[in-house]
Amino acid sequence: MGWNDWTREVEIAPSLYAADFMRLGDQIEALLAAGCRVFHVDVGDGQFIPPITIGPIVVQSVAPAIHQAGSRVDCHLMIVEPERHFEQVREAGGDSVTFHIEVCDDVAAAVARARQLDLGVGIAFNPDTPVETVAAFSTEVDLLLCMSVHPGYSGQPFLPESLDRLERLRELAGEDVLLQVDGGIGAANVAEAHAAGADVLVAGSSVFHGGDPAVAYADLVRIAGCRTPARAGARAGRAR
């Protein structure tokens, strides 16, 4: 279940890790009403990253309402041995998995396992991992995720060198793979990150910690210049 047949030229993906879990259902419904098409689920195991975050049980709870609205659940696995958990994510209702290259011994096997389960698949990489390491897999996956903070904690400031890394990744990977950016994305940098090459921009604190998540989401959509062309050729026409 790939991305290219349903994503717009640019998507804002609220990170549920930053949500108010007392009000999670209401916040998701409000974001769906505002037009949100992809929700980002940060899964941390306390090993690859320090905190234990959320996982398949949360996906299982929220996926039915998200799918009913025609939107998707994108699971960012910040865990060791990620491929061991793909089936559990799929059974819970996840639509895609993105795993970290730093903890995957056999990238080709992990990608093949995700495809076998009909999951969209991406590869993430940390700020200190060379862009070239991940760009080599651009033809094998749906997306490449450039971390713009060191993964683990919501609310970290955006690392400005990430813009150069996104531009370099786009140059190396070409136009046929989606680029995702995660960490510190907000009104001050969302347009700049999109211009640098990002198609899917994960936003946590800037959506959920500023009052009304639906309003904050709509503001990011407006600033990023989201619009809905057909997927084919959409990225090729991106203003650079």
Instruction: Give the catalytic positions in this structure.
Output: 42, 182
Find tokens 């996982």 and name the residue. 55
Nearest residue to 56 (alpha-carbon basis) of 106, 8, 93: 93
C-alpha Rg value of the chain to the nearest Å: 16
What is residue 31's three-state secondary structure? helix
Q: Could you say which DSSP state residue 26 is in?
A: H
Q: How many CB atoms lie within 10 A of CB 159?
A: 15
* Phi, psi angle pair for 77, to nearest 5°: -95, 100
Q: How many CB atoms lie within 10 A of CB 117?
A: 16
Give the span between the Cα atoms of 155 and 145, in whole angstroms: 18
- Identify the helix (H) or strand (E) that includes residue 134: helix 131-135
Find tokens 């689920």 and name the residue. 41
- Which residues lie across from 201 on neighbouring strands? 12, 181
CB 224 within 8 A of CB 10: yes
Burial of 191 (0-12, 13-18, 19+ CB in 10 A): middle
